[in-house]
Amino acid sequence: MSAFSAPIAEQIWDMKYRLKEADGTPIDGSVEDSWHRIARALAVVEKNPAEWEAKFYKALEGFKFLPAGRITAGAGTGRNVTLFNCFVMGTVPDSMGGIFDALKEAALTMQQGGGIGYDFSTIRPRGAEVKGVAADASGPLSFMDVWDAMCRTIMSAGSRRGAMMATMRCDHPDVEQFIEAKKDPARLRMFNLSVLITDPFMDAVKADGPWELVFGGKVYKTIPARDLWNKIMRNTYDFAEPGVIFIDRINKANNLGYVETIAATNPCGEQPLPPYGACLLGSINLPTLVTGAFTDKAELNLAALDDLVRTAVRMMDNTVDASRFPLDQQAQEAAAKRRIGLGVTGLADALLMLGLRYGSDEGAAQTEAWMHAIARASYLASVDLAREKGAFPLFDAKGYLSSGNMRNMDADVRDAIAKHGIRNALLTSVAPTGTISLYAGNVSSGIEPVFAYAYTRKVLQKDGSRTEEEVVDYAVRLWRELKGDAPLPDYFVNAQTLPPLDHVKMQAAAQKWIDSSISKTINCPEDISFDDFKEVYMAAWDQGCKGCTTYRPNAVTGSVLTVSEKAETPVAAQPQTGGEVVYLSEPLDRPAALEGQTYKVKWPGSEHALYITINDILIAGHRRPFEVFINSKNMEHFAWTVALTRMISAVFRRGGDISFVVEELKAVFDPRGGAWMEGRYIPSILAAIGGVIERHLISIGFIEGEGMGLKSDPKAEVMVVGETPRGKACPSCGSYAMQMKEGCMTCTDCGHSKCG
């Protein structure tokens, strides 16, 4: 009897979490073997490891406690990987040498799979004087471009897809350029961007007062605060970035405010961290604790929740000691504060199982009550660990208990901490759980509403073929098992139909008892007015949220998948016509004449230029690439250019989405070093060729922009509940199944996530 409730869950486990030999031979024979591996690895630091291994296994069994993906995939493997999900790098110095030292540290961290955040507010603005060299500063955005190139290069070495967050203070002189940086669809694609919003700025916005842009004590510019706020709102409305982080609120609430200042977060925003801060993540799977689902006796077992939380806290505390770290500074920071981020997943499903509508006052009140119970259990468990193993090294009772977060904690918890100390400085966080939620049977992700009740996904098989399978939400599947064909009740709502302010209400209810932050996306309809859109952010501020991330479908980032609420039986999508892509079962014969373009590439240091000719075929009024020729007078290039010409042309002639060729070429780095071309760092001559091909594909309308997939694809028929869900092409599996979830584009077919 399989532990998996759906094929997608087993596929995710096999692809992402199952331990295998280098040649792909499985070591974990079953998911139970994976649970044993994790439990054993996290119990080894205990005085009686066998006893705790059994308890840890029980917590993992049945997907009740879900350690984050890096723990599930890495614990007990003996591999040189970090089990931590989130890092904020050290403060970026305002000097050329310091900036590139920081770049090196970032590369080492990303190489081990860590998602990283940086505050670029510390770099002097563009045009500022650089003393001693008679030059003006190029500003933080120019260095962000270098980081962006580094992330692409790290990806070429086979590491996890890079994820980075860049923040900038709302009073930095370059903040206006930062806000608008991603208007250029080719720029900073490896970054998420957020503006650090201060309390005085929000006061100025509300009062319609002036706002000074300052660096190093010098006022560079004074502007109306509302103008800057509206600029943030307009760019977010049009391009989905930047997000906003209420940084003063974060620092006032921080348990560790007496020893650290936070200026950045990890890529999805749920972990505000100090310089070199690190945090690991895990989630309580709430639906597994509900009894009597869809009856008048439905309830979440609070005793079982308390017991599971306490075990999970111990497992995560042990992970701090079991993990490796990319940098010594990160290891020291983690050991000194022992931060963990325990959160939840399946909240929306658990509410549905109790008959509560996500976004209702009752749903918000129940959410707050569950989060309160989790916070109490977490803190008391950590106090017990402090009595047994000692408090975190930087614990100071007076400083710790005077933070905004701890002043709101229950009196008995405060008393216990004052008497015994606490093992972990911070304990709770709501992380993105898209992949582990699929692995756990497609429970709703994190504290998000249900995205889709059911949809049909195309699964890429090893032989290259695709099969179709229905993916059903956990609560919907349970309803079907219990109620048969009975229609879903009115309290079933999803992310597409939920009013944005209901999203805010749920985020605010959960935030009251989360000591770090929350990864959540507030889905907004495309036709929402700009004034209503701005109100979402003001409501998040007024209701006590620590940040806000919205997603409104737009021309740059595309649409999320959409699903109708009404229909409950799969309906086949009708074939689409008139798209730009033609799929070919056999290579197409070459016409006698083709239209094309020739591009010149002069690689620095090379005597001869490369000439790249790309010819296109015209089908149904649309151009697509058909063949490539690469020529050079340099005979050292002859063999590989001919081989490349033949391989790329063969791929082009097979049809379909060939944009992956560009990404593969652009990711190749030369160990001898790359070169600067037209103000950008290019890691190799092959990457330069990839860039040329990409620009050509953009020019003929085959792809949307740099790093983006196809504009449309008529052959990608998808079966759905009600309507045809359609997202952007996944860069990993090619399916049109990318969704914006918890601030991160995630593929529902293969689990690929931009944020790792």
Q: Which residues are catalytic?
A: 266, 268, 270
Q: Which two tokens stand for residue 728?
A: 């952007």
| 137, 128 contact by CB (below 8 A) | yes
Q: Which two tokens stand for residue 292?
A: 């009597």
Taking the C-alpha atoms of residue 748 and residue 562, their distance in angstroms, rounded to an integer, is 13
Indicate left, alpha or beta for 148 from its phi (over 0: left) and psi (-120 to 50: alpha). Answer: alpha
Taking the C-alpha atoms of residue 479 and residue 256, their distance in angstroms, rounded to an integer, is 44
Three-state secondary structure call for residue 723: coil
**In 394-548, at which residue ranges do the beta strands (DSSP E only) sit?**
454-460, 466-472, 522-523, 547-548
Taking the C-alpha atoms of residue 17 and residue 38, their distance in angstroms, rounded to an integer, is 11
Taking the C-alpha atoms of residue 207 and residue 187, their distance in angstroms, rounded to an integer, is 34
| 140, 111 contact by CB (below 8 A) | no
User: 3-class secondary structure for 154-205?
Assistant: HHHCCCCCCCEEEEEECCCCCHHHHHHHHHCCCCCCCEEEEEEECHHHHHHH
Phi (first) and psi of residue 215, to 5 degrees: -145, 130
Q: Which two tokens stand for residue 43?
A: 């119990």
DSSP secondary structure letter of residue 686: H
Longest dimension (CA), the chain: 86
Q: Which two tokens stand for residue 284?
A: 């309580």
Contacts of 29 (CB under 8 A, 6+ apart): none
Long-range own/partner contacts, residues 480-485 (CB < 8 A, 24 or more apart)? 482/293, 482/294, 483/294
Q: Which two tokens stand for residue 161?
A: 């897809």
**In 366-477, at which residue ranges do the beta strands (DSSP E only) sit?**
454-460, 466-472
Contacts of 23 (CB under 8 A, 6+ apart): none
Contacts of 493 (CB under 8 A, 6+ apart): 357, 358, 359, 449, 450, 565
DSSP letter string over 208-255?
Answer: T-EEEEEETTEEEEEEEHHHHHHHHHHHHHHHS--EEEEHHHHHHH-T
Three-state secondary structure call for residue 371: helix
Cα radius of gyration (the chain): 26
Q: Which CA distances in Å does 546 have to 29, 343, 504, 510, 549?
A: 43, 16, 11, 11, 10
| 375, 305 contact by CB (below 8 A) | no
Q: 583 pairs with which residues across the strands?
A: 655
